[in-house]
Structure 1
Amino acid sequence: MPRDIADDETGPIRRVPPEAAQRRRRAPTGPRPDRTPSKDPDEKPAEREPVTPQQTGHGHGHSHGHGPTPPTSRRVRQLLTALLAPLALATLVGMVLLYPWGQEGPDSAINSGTPVDGEVTATAVGPCLAPGEVQVGQPAPAPGEDQCLTVDVHLTDGPAAGQTIRKVVPVEPSTPRFGAGDQVVLAFTGADATSPDSYQLRDFQRELPLALLAALFAAAVLVLGRWRGLAALGALVLSFVVLAMFVLPAILAGENPLLVAIAGAGLIMFVALYLTHGFSALTSVAVLGTLVSLTLIGIISAIFSAAAELTGLDEDTTSLIAALGHGIDARGLLLAGVVIGALGVLDDVTVTQASSVWELRRANPALGWRELYAAGLRIGRDHVGSAVNTLVMAYAGAALPVLLVSQLSGVGLGPILGSQDIAQEIVRTLAGSIGIVAAVPVTTLLAALIASREVAPTPR
Structure 2
Amino acid sequence: MKKTIILSLLLLFFLTPSSILAREQVSSQTVRGRIIDIVQGPTAEEKEQSYVADIQQIKVEITQGEFRGEKITTNHTLSGNPARDFYFNEGDRVLLWLESQNGVITRSLVREVVRDHYLGYMALFFIFSLILVGGLQGLKTVLTLSITGFLVLRVLLPLILEGYPPILTTIIITSIIVSISLIVTSGFTRKTLAAIIGTMGGVAVAGILAWWMSNATRLTGLSGEESQMLMYIPQGTNFDFRGLLFAGMIIGAMGAVLDIGMSISSTIDEVKRANPSISTKDLIKSGLNVGRDIMGTMSNTLILAYTGASMSLLLVIIANEIPLSRITNMDSMATEIVRVLAGSIGLIYAIPITAIVAGLLYNQVDFSKTNRTDQTNDL
With the length of structure 1 as denominator, give the TM-score of the two structures. 0.69
Q: C-alpha distance in 1, partners of 2:177/2:98?
A: 37
**In structure 2, the residue corresponding to 1:179 is in which secondary structure?**
coil
Residue 362 of structure 2 is aligned to residue 451 of structure 1? yes
**Structure 2 counterpart of 1:400, one-letter code:** M
Counterpart of 1:209 in structure 2 is 118
**Structure 1 counterpart of 2:94, one-letter code:** V
Q: Structure 1: state its 5+ residue gaps.
A: 1-112, 128-134
Match of 1:388 among 274, 299, 319: 299
Q: C-alpha distance in 2, partners of 1:222/1:393?
A: 28
Counterpart of 1:223 in structure 2 is 132
Q: Structure 2: state its 5+ residue gaps.
A: 1-27, 373-379
Q: CA deviation at 1:171?
A: 4.4
**Structure 2 counterpart of 1:146, one-letter code:** A
Match of 1:118 among 17, 25, 33: 33
Residues 20-169 of structure 1 correspond to what in structure 2 (within 5 A)? 114-123=29-38, 126=41, 135=43, 146-165=53-72, 166-169=74-77
**In structure 1, the residue corresponding to 2:75 is in which secondary structure?**
strand
Q: 1:448 to 1:304 in 2, by over 3 A?
A: same
Superposed CA deviations along residues 181-226 of structure 1, whole A, max 9, x for unmatched, are: 11111234566764463x3322121222111111111111111211
**In structure 1, the residue corresponding to 2:64 is in which secondary structure?**
coil
Q: C-alpha distance in 1, partners of 2:316/2:58?
A: 31
Q: 1:161 to 1:407 in 2, by over 3 A?
A: farther
Q: CA deviation at 1:320?
A: 2.3
Q: CA deviation at 1:177?
A: 2.1
User: Which deviates further from its counterpart, 305-314 or 394-403?
Assistant: 394-403
**In structure 1, the residue corresponding to 2:182 is in which secondary structure?**
helix
Residues 5-20 of structure 1 correspond to what in structure 2 (within 5 A)? none
Q: 1:282 to 1:326 in 2, by over 3 A?
A: closer
Larger Rg, first or second structure (1 or 2)? 1
**Structure 2 counterpart of 1:299, one-letter code:** I
Match of 1:400 among 311, 314, 331: 311
Q: 1:193 to 1:419 in 2, by over 3 A?
A: farther
**Structure 2 counterpart of 1:451, one-letter code:** Y
Q: CA deviation at 1:339?
A: 0.9
2:76 touches 2:110 (CA, 8 Å); kept in 1?
A: no
1:149 touches 1:171 (CA, 8 Å); kept in 2?
A: no
Q: C-alpha distance in 2, partners of 1:312/1:171?
A: 32
1:402 touches 1:421 (CA, 8 Å); kept in 2?
A: no
Identical positions, percent: 32
1:370 touches 1:448 (CA, 8 Å); kept in 2?
A: yes
User: Which deviates further from its counterpart, 248-257 or 165-174?
Assistant: 165-174
**In structure 2, the residue corresponding to 1:417 is in which secondary structure?**
helix
Counterpart of 1:277 in structure 2 is 186
Q: CA deviation at 1:150?
A: 2.4
Q: C-alpha distance in 2, partners of 1:375/1:278?
A: 23
2:159 touches 2:169 (CA, 8 Å); kept in 1?
A: yes
Q: C-alpha distance in 2, partners of 1:321/1:420?
A: 18
**Structure 2 counterpart of 1:278, one-letter code:** G
Q: C-alpha distance in 2, partners of 1:251/1:154?
A: 40
Q: C-alpha distance in 2, partners of 1:382/1:288?
A: 21
Q: C-alpha distance in 2, partners of 1:387/1:193?
A: 58
Q: C-alpha distance in 2, partners of 1:189/1:395?
A: 41
| RMSD of aligned Cα (Å) | 2.4
**In structure 2, the residue corresponding to 1:184 is in which secondary structure?**
strand
Superposed CA deviations along residues 328-363 of structure 1, whole A, max 9, x for unmatched, are: 111111111111122121111001101111211112
Counterpart of 1:176 in structure 2 is 86
**Structure 1 counterpart of 2:95, one-letter code:** V
Match of 1:426 among 337, 344, 358: 337
2:151 touches 2:177 (CA, 8 Å); kept in 1?
A: yes
Q: 1:163 to 1:336 in 2, by over 3 A?
A: same
**Structure 1 counterpart of 2:30, one-letter code:** P
Q: C-alpha distance in 2, partners of 1:193/1:435?
A: 58
Tell me the matched-pair count: 338
1:242 touches 1:268 (CA, 8 Å); kept in 2?
A: yes
1:296 touches 1:435 (CA, 8 Å); kept in 2?
A: yes
**In structure 2, the residue corresponding to 1:328 is in which secondary structure?**
coil
Q: C-alpha distance in 1, partners of 2:314/2:96?
A: 31
Counterpart of 1:260 in structure 2 is 169
**Structure 1 counterpart of 2:143, one-letter code:** G
Q: 1:369 to 1:185 in 2, by over 3 A?
A: same
Q: CA deviation at 1:423?
A: 1.6
User: Which deviates further from its counterpart, 205-214 or 228-237?
Assistant: 205-214
**Structure 2 counterpart of 1:242, one-letter code:** L
